[in-house]
C-alpha cells in the first residue's frame, strides 16, 4: 500500500519536531557526554538509512578517542540489559523513534 502525500508530510513534520537529541540516561562526564551526543547525531544524520553504518562510525570514533571496547546499538523498538564500566554509558533518542545506546565494557 502506498503512502499518501499527507501521511508523508505528517511523518516529515514529526521527524522535524523531534530532530533534537533526547538523553534518556547517561553517567558520562559532561565533556564526554556532549562529544558522544554530537557524534551520535552526526552519524545518524549522515547514515539516515543505514543504522549499521552509523553504529560502526560511532564505535570506531569512540575507540580512537576514548580507548577500545566501546559498543553501540542503534534502532527502533529494542530492549537490552548490559554490563558497563561506570561513567561510560549514554542512552538517547534521536529523530523521534531512533534509540542510540553507547557503552564501554572491558
Residue 71 belongs to domain with CATH number: 3.30.740.10
pLDDT tens across 17-61, in order? 556 788 999 999 999 999 999 999 999 999 989 999 999 999 999
Q: Given a cut of 90, is residue 79 above it in pLDDT?
A: no
CA distance 93 to 96: 7
The rounded radius of gyration (Å) of the Cα atoms in the chain is 15
pLDDT level of residue 62 (50, 70, 90 thresholds): very high
Cα(9)–Cα(15) distance, rounded to whole angstroms? 10
Count of domains for the chain: 1
Task: Kindly report whether the global pTM for this prediction surpasses the value 0.75.
Answer: yes
Terminal alpha carbon distance of the chain: 47
Range of the domain at 24: 2-104
Alpha-carbon distance of 53 to 58, in angstroms, equals 9
Amino acid at each position: 500500500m502506498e503512502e499518501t502525500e499527507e501521511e508523508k508530510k505528517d511523518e516529515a513534520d514529526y521527524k522535524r519536531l523531534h530532530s533534537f537529541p533526547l538523553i534518556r540516561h547517561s553517567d558520562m562526564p559532561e565533556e564526554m557526554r556532549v562529544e558522544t551526543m554530537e557524534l551520535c547525531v552526526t552519524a545518524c544524520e549522515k547514515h539516515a538509512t543505514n543504522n549499521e553504518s552509523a553504529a560502526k562510525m560511532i564505535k570506531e570514533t569512540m575507540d580512537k578517542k576514548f580507548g577500545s571496547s566501546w559498543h553501540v546499538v542503534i534502532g527502533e523498538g529494542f530492549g537490552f540489559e548490559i554490563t558497563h564500566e561506570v561513567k561510560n554509558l549514554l542512552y538517547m533518542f534521536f529523530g523521534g523513534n531512533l534509540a542510540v545506546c553507547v557503552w564501554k565494557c572491558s
